[in-house]
A and B are shown apart, each in its own frame.
Chain A
Amino acid sequence: MSKIVIKGLGVDIASIPKIAKLVDRFDCETLSLVFTDKERDYCQSIDRRDVAYALCFGIKEAVSKALGVGLVGIDWYEIETDLAQKQPEVRLYRKAEIQAQKLGIQRWLVDWWELQDCVLANVIGFSEEQIDE
């Protein structure tokens, strides 16, 4: 038997037109400060590019909040989102991964909604712990 223990919660709203403007203004190398190669490849490959970029941005901010440090101690590209899956997935690297380990976060659950010209992302960081019977 195991139980799910919630270790962190985060929510964020990202403006689709603002993120689209950001993406249009800068080249790939500069954007790599925010988005990983995988994220850019995926977002550029789909019809709803602007929504995908805004969702990546919103999930990153939400995850940083769930990690309890915001983006003060973590770089944007250390939080990677995989939108190619049915449910968005989160992968962490370097400082973000270390912070998740400190909090005991093993997995992430991501939910999101598109509201007018914004994307609302909600993330839960949790662990599965064994229960002694």
Chain B
Amino acid sequence: MVAASTFGILVDILKELGVSETQISPNTFIYRDLQLDSTETVEISLALKRRLGIKIKLETRQDKTLAELCQSIESAKSQ
């Protein structure tokens, strides 16, 4: 289950990066589907730090969906 508010924040951040809303869904993979480069993934991490005060690393061995990223954000928020 994806928290709507968290997903909304993620959508806003991705749109600010220039990602089209049509490309964004909970099942979208960060690297495979959005083809984000390292600068862009860092920008997402920094935006999450600024907006939510949490530290999330997007550099992972396995590609994550936006739903999985939302779960990581929720988990970081609750700590």
Contacts from A to B (Cβ < 8 Å):
14-15, 18-19, 22, 25-27, 30-31, 33-34, 57, 61, 70-72, 75-76
Contacts and interface: CB of A to CB of B under 8 A. Distances in A.
B42 A76 contact: yes
Nearest to A14: B39
B50 A27 contact: yes
A34 B42 CA distance: 8
Nearest to A12: B38
Interface stretch (B2-10, B25-33, B54-62, B63-71): B54-62
Contacts of A76: 42
A30 B40 CA distance: 15
State which size class the interface on B falls in: 10 to 19
Interface of B: 38-40, 42-43, 45-46, 49-50, 55, 57, 59-61
A30 B59 contact: no
A19 B46 contact: no
Contacts of B57: 71-72, 75
A55 to B, nearest CB: 14
A22 B39 contact: yes
